[in-house]
Structure 1
């Protein structure tokens, strides 16, 4: 059975969210293309907001896009 590849933009958003949730800097964005970078940055911002709201570890499971 073949694996279906995920959309690159959703993958970058999820990785950005996890990076933001873990408190990583936005300068650690792995992509340079402006279109793809915006997906990572949007996820990073959502992750930082969740981090600042006190959601980390088990409490962040409900908003984690990788588990949706």
Structure 2
């Protein structure tokens, strides 16, 4: 799994941080998404998919391994 972000569309809702705090954070200056781990370990895959689903502006794109 690899994570890609469309940061320009982020509204700073924070659902991603609540769902997967080891993978996502929010920038201090504007509250927008900050990706902590673009290639999370398998133990984080379920919560990353949940974060992508919860994102109100769909900025989180999960690219699955082949």
TM-score range, shorter chain: under 0.3
* Higher normalized strand content (fraction of residues): 2
Higher helix share goes to which structure?
1
Q: TM-score if structure 2 supplies the norm length?
A: 0.26
Higher RCO (CA 8 Å, separation ≥ 6 residues): 2
